[in-house]
Every structure is written in structure tokens, then in C-alpha cells.
Structure 1
């Protein structure tokens, strides 16, 4: 899906965060208090680094589980 040209990034993120929060609570009732953190971060990248970015995201679950 693409963000319509007339929509700001923050408007799009507000919609995405709201919809995904509702869906998480619907699919996982035990997460009734689920919400995203306040704020957002946006960055651009060259398509050539995409494999490294995907690997980074895939490592996050393991990385964060070690902190507990």
C-alpha cells in the first residue's frame, strides 16, 4: 500500500498505529493494554542495504530477549 500524496507521514503513521493496535487486541485478547510507544522515527535507505536492514530487524527479537 502507498501513502496518498495528500497525506502527511504523521497522519499515515497515526492510522497505521491505530489500526494495528486494534488488530493486535482483537487477535490477542491477552494484550488488551497493547499500545505503541509515543513518537516515531523515519529514515531512508539505499536499496542495496536492504538485506542488511532485514537481517537487523530479524535479530531484534533475540537481541531484546537477552535484556530480560
Structure 2
């Protein structure tokens, strides 16, 4: 085969450290745009970025040129440095150490886009931790509750 053809949709989820509600409304859209920009700079085309006060969701295409771990590392480190420049109250902004990344069936992309777009409504009823546990169960990820949160 002469070409490397790849199409991997990924739904990436991670929270602020200790799930602190530091993603304030005045900065939320700018943060989501920044996260998407970092993805784009790494040739991981962002499709939808959203979240809530204590976490983010990124739906993107994983480039064939980068490892998932490197994508998440760069997204988190660059955005953490950037957000701290916006307001003195954000000097202690950090992302959690871990993350979740889940493959998305191309037929389900529109569902994931809608899910990410409705985060504020969704989290009026469900905590991030419960949401994340639901993902882990849905994707049959084995985990130890003691090590999921930092």
C-alpha cells in the first residue's frame, strides 16, 4: 500500500486539578478556541471543543503524525500557561494529571458534537465525576477509583 490513510475521531476529556471550577464564563470561549488552536497546530483538526467550569471535552481528528499522549501533553501545557496570563486569579490554574480519550464511530460524530455543545445543561444535573464514570463504563475501561482523581 503506497499511502497511509488514517481517520481517527477522538473524544478527549480532562478536568482542572481537583475539579476546581476555574473555567470562568468570561474566559470559557477563549479557552475552548485556544484548545482547538493547539490541536490544529498539531494537525489534529478540532471538530468541537466545549466543557464546563471544571473540565473540557475535545472532539478532534488524531493526526497520523502525532501520538495521542503528545497531543494531550501539548494541549494541556500550552493552555495552562496561556490561561494564567489572563487574570491574576488564575495563577493556580492546573489541569489534572490524567485524561480520558475515547474513539468515536464516524456515525456518532454528530451525537458527540451535540453532547459537547450541551455541557452547561448537562451539568446542571450531573457532576463531572459521574459523567466520567459513565464514559469509563460505556467504553469498558477498567479502572481503580482510588487512582482516577487527583
TM-score normalized by structure 1?
0.71
For 2:91, the equivalent position in structure 1 comes to: 32
Cα deviation for residue 4 of structure 1 reads: 6.6
Q: How many residues align?
A: 67
User: Which of the pair is proportionally richer in strand?
Assistant: 2
Higher RCO structure, 1 or 2 (CA under 8 Å, sep 6+): 2
Consecutive unaligned residues in structure 1, runs of 5 or more: none
| Distance of aligned partners of 1:66 and 1:8 in 2 relative to their CA distance in 1, 3 Å threshold | same
The alpha carbon displacement at 1:33 in A equals: 1.1
Task: Provide, for residues 11-51 of structure 1, a one-character-per-residue CA deviation record: whole Å limited to 9, x for no partner.
Answer: 22111100011111112332111111121111111222112
Gaps of 5+ in 2: 1-39, 44-62, 128-150
Distance 1:4 1:54 in 2: 22
More helix, by proportion: 1
TM-score (norm 2): 0.38
- Dislocated runs of 4+, deviation >3 Å: 65-68
Moved more, 22-31 or 34-43: 22-31
Q: Which residue of 1 aligns with 2:74?
A: 15
Q: 1-side partners of 2:71 and 2:126: how far apart?
A: 31
Q: Report the Cα offset of residue 67 of structure 1.
A: 5.9
